[in-house]
Amino acid sequence: MVSGPTRDAVIQIVDYVSKAIELISDSEKDSMIDLLLNARKEGRRIFVVGAGRSGLVAKAFAMRLTHMGFDVYVIGETITPPMRRDDILLAVSGSGRTKTVVAVAETARSIGARVVAITTYPDSPLGRVSDLVVRIPGRTKLAVEEDYIVRQVRGLHEPLAPLGTLFEVTTMIFLDGIVVELMHKLGITEEEMKEKHANIE
Amino acid sequence: MVSGPTRDAVIQIVDYVSKAIELISDSEKDSMIDLLLNARKEGRRIFVVGAGRSGLVAKAFAMRLTHMGFDVYVIGETITPPMRRDDILLAVSGSGRTKTVVAVAETARSIGARVVAITTYPDSPLGRVSDLVVRIPGRTKLAVEEDYIVRQVRGLHEPLAPLGTLFEVTTMIFLDGIVVELMHKLGITEEEMKEKHANIE
Amino acid sequence: MVSGPTRDAVIQIVDYVSKAIELISDSEKDSMIDLLLNARKEGRRIFVVGAGRSGLVAKAFAMRLTHMGFDVYVIGETITPPMRRDDILLAVSGSGRTKTVVAVAETARSIGARVVAITTYPDSPLGRVSDLVVRIPGRTKLAVEEDYIVRQVRGLHEPLAPLGTLFEVTTMIFLDGIVVELMHKLGITEEEMKEKHANIE
Amino acid sequence: MVSGPTRDAVIQIVDYVSKAIELISDSEKDSMIDLLLNARKEGRRIFVVGAGRSGLVAKAFAMRLTHMGFDVYVIGETITPPMRRDDILLAVSGSGRTKTVVAVAETARSIGARVVAITTYPDSPLGRVSDLVVRIPGRTKLAVEEDYIVRQVRGLHEPLAPLGTLFEVTTMIFLDGIVVELMHKLGITEEEMKEKHANIE
């Protein structure tokens, strides 16, 4: 059984995600799923973008979309095709202010693509350029007080999840939930996903 | 409040991580932290490797190590230097059978580096070539029964966390816990980490 | 007009490529083009792999194949699908000994894919596991003597193209030649390629 | 001996690079080398950025800088640290208009870094935000006429080097020339570079 600050942090993160899920809007989630399903039905492409750890979370979601047979690409990778009108850009940025992510979203918008932002700040530059914002609660809202108590008790001085950790982990798990809902709606089995999983890596 | 299979899946994943943390060995965690701290003290390098979503989780951890001032590199990226005797390779693979990851671990071992495996299977090819295995519980152990009950109730046919999801998310959160313990042991503040965070991305 | 060692090196590299092209086998080139065209006709996929600068050259070729409408993927990128029987793996390695590249080629072969090696050494581990080897002349064959003379005259001590430079540049230009031949055979215009070029980057 | 359009294209590319090198400014080259050498002497970092094939060329140069012991990073990779005042950003873009590259250069400038642009267009958005422009001749200047003649003779309709090919190849070889001049000025041997080359890839 893991103990020490590692344990405190894991419990804090898990607790945060449990509460955060209660605060994510069901209609925002449903709108995102509808956009993805419509894109799939109409042969339109999904592009993902994000920087740093948010970019890794975006890629983790893109992999699962690939496993479900979506036509998905990562901005900046080798074989990424041009974006077209009505394609979808899924942009992940906690602050909504990451420069290159905002630049990509603006270009996507000018092409006529639909931009979905996953961010804590709907009123950020990314949020404002997006057609749909899925709001992921930020650390300040939920974690600070409890974080403080745990740290007092344990004699820790720094937060139990530094920088964007809570946003990144919450987004990763939320998107893994979206994957399950898409599987359900499309009738895709885990076995079928395994068949679309890279076999050389 | 998010509902539907997305909600079920998030709750299932969060629940899984809470239980998994009870099953991760404290002494394996401590050994891993000691290896990282010693490497840092003696100016040795840490390399990370992983494929697919496990590779993304490895990179997410590498970013935080960078923010704490560790000398860390990702196998396969542009500026990665040669590995030397006594450097550390952190290899992430749920199955412990990913071909290129095992090949990298074997080469690292032959160079005289210390290999730390994060895997569900200590007896896998990766586990056997490693100096230290940190065992992350696998889906079969914990999730299957409850998963089955939730799915019965909700009329879902497929698992609430397909393929390697539970391993990947558990590993990501566990490593984020390790980050907090390293901050604590090294007396590094969040503010100091922010100063080492990329400012162009 | 650039002068100094930069100039000497550029002239040496250019001169090397001019001679190397005379030594690349026309039938190996034709076989490679046939494999690519047949794959395209039959809806089979092309995967590329390479490490270090050879990997960058492989990606540069993959981009152009994308621009021509080939179904091409890079091993290790986010959305890479599984390889199937009769797909093609294009593996670039000057030495033919790069561990992960050889591991990928072996797996590809075991799946029943056709492996095309671009290497200086047909008798290397990569060469031996490949269905087709396109041999790119190595530095020792062509460059050493002239290199020596230029360096004597200019007072330079080190080669004018260190490490794998001559292999990498020759391969890049040779593959750019293959692109033109594919355009010609398929009747693809530059304008059509521009339309398939990423518009967000 | 390779024949057909592949041969024509290789000869055309090689011929282009030979002429282009005569048109690159020696003082721009010298200024770039001075900036790199000063950065090295004063412990400042070099960052590279580029999109698509230009980005691959930037990475190929970054690898060689690593082999020579420079402190170099690629924008967007996992372990890239923050940029500081007086660090150097080397930005590669033929058109000088690639959105994310310009955004990165602008941010670098605002941080107080020195921006070196490698581009065909000094008067582009990238060129205008740069401290130093190294101008690489563009296709229109040199290649069009001869290209036309070769294609007439050979019955080809499309250019022998589509899209940015001539810029990318010329830049790659020019930067490989810079590597040799840096080796010369720093007294670095090929053997020393081999020791800094990744040994796991």
- B29-83 pLDDT per residue, tens: 999 999 999 999 999 999 999 999 999 999 999 999 999 999 999 999 999 999 9
Cα gap D103→D111, rounded to integer Å: 13
C-alpha D3, offset from chain centre: 29
Q: Angle B26-41/A4-23 helices, nearest 10 degrees? A: 110
User: Which residue from B62, B104, B199 is facing D78, i.e. has the nearest CB?
Assistant: B62
For chain A, say whether B103 makes contact (Cβ under 8 Å).
Answer: no
Print the domain residue range for B52. Answer: 29-186
For chain C, say whether A198 makes contact (Cβ under 8 Å).
Answer: yes
Q: Looking at chain B, which subunits does it touch, using at least 3 CB pairs closer than 8 Å as the criterion?
A: A, C, D
To the question of pTM greater than 0.90 for the whole model, the response is yes
Task: Look up tokens 């792999």; give the residue.
Answer: C49
Strands D88-92 and D114-119: parallel
- C43-88 pLDDT per residue, tens: 999 999 999 999 999 999 999 999 999 999 999 999 999 999 999 9
Q: Is residue B18 a contact partner of residue A11, using CB atoms and an 8 Å limit?
A: yes
Non-local CB neighbours of D110 within 8 Å, separated by 6+ positions: none
Closest by alpha carbon to C131, among C140, C142, C122?
Answer: C122
Q: How many CB pairs under 8 A join B and D?
A: 75
Closest by alpha carbon to A197, among C100, C105, B162?
Answer: B162
D161 within domain boundaries: yes
Other CB atoms within a 10 A radius of the CB of residue C41 amount to 8
Task: Look up tokens 């024949």; give the residue.
Answer: D3
Per-residue confidence band for C139, with pLDDT thresholds at 50, 70 and 90: confident
Per-residue confidence band for D78, with pLDDT thresholds at 50, 70 and 90: very high
Given a cut of 90, whether residue D101 has pLDDT beyond it is yes
D11 within domain boundaries: no
The amino acid at B110: S
Q: Is residue D117 a contact partner of residue D146, using CB atoms and an 8 Å limit?
A: no
pLDDT for residue D115: 98
The mean of the pLDDT values for chain D is: 94
C95 within domain boundaries: yes
Closest by alpha carbon to A51, among A98, A10, A88, A5?
Answer: A98
pLDDT for residue C142: 59
C201 within domain boundaries: no
Closest by alpha carbon to B24, among A11, A160, A171?
Answer: A11
Query: Order of strands across the sheet with D88-92?
Result: D72-74, D46-50, D88-92, D114-119, D132-135
Given a cut of 60, whether residue D141 has pLDDT beyond it is no
B138 within domain boundaries: yes
Both structure tokens of C17? 């490529």
C-alpha D169, offset from chain centre: 9
* CB–CB contact D157 C194 (8 Å): no
Beta bridge mates, A176: none
C11 within domain boundaries: no
Both structure tokens of C146? 């002239």
Cα gap C37→C77, rounded to integer Å: 24
The amino acid at B98: T
The predicted model gives D97-113 an average pLDDT of 96
Per CB-CB distance under 8 Å, the chain A contacts of D100 are 76, 100, 103-104
ipTM: 0.96
The predicted model gives C128-143 an average pLDDT of 85
Given a cut of 60, whether residue A141 has pLDDT beyond it is no
* Backbone angle region of A184, left / alpha / beta, with phi > 0 → left and psi within -120 to 50 → alpha: alpha
First to last CA, chain B: 32
User: Which residue from B76, B99, B104 is facing C107, i.e. has the nearest CB?
Assistant: B99
CATH of the domain at B33: 3.40.50.10490
Both structure tokens of C187? 């009747």
Cα gap B159→B150, rounded to integer Å: 9
Q: Angle A26-41/A165-186 helices, nearest 10 degrees? A: 50
* CB–CB contact D104 A99 (8 Å): yes
For chain B, say whether D104 makes contact (Cβ under 8 Å).
Answer: yes
- B109-156 pLDDT per residue, tens: 999 999 999 999 999 999 999 999 999 998 755 566 677 777 888 888
DSSP conformational letter for D136: P
Q: Is residue C77 a contact partner of residue C59, using CB atoms and an 8 Å limit?
A: no
Closest B-chain CA to A137: B1
B10 within domain boundaries: no
Per CB-CB distance under 8 Å, the chain C contacts of D188 are 158
C-alpha A145, offset from chain centre: 25
Catalytic residues of D: 168
What is the total count of domains within chain B?
A: 1
Max Cα-Cα span within chain B: 56
Q: What are phi and psi of B77, to 5 degrees?
A: -85, 170
Catalytic residues of B: 168
Per CB-CB distance under 8 Å, the chain D contacts of B111 are 199-200
Per-residue confidence band for A54, with pLDDT thresholds at 50, 70 and 90: very high
Closest by alpha carbon to B176, among A165, A195, D94, D194?
Answer: A165
pLDDT for residue A126: 98
D125 within domain boundaries: yes
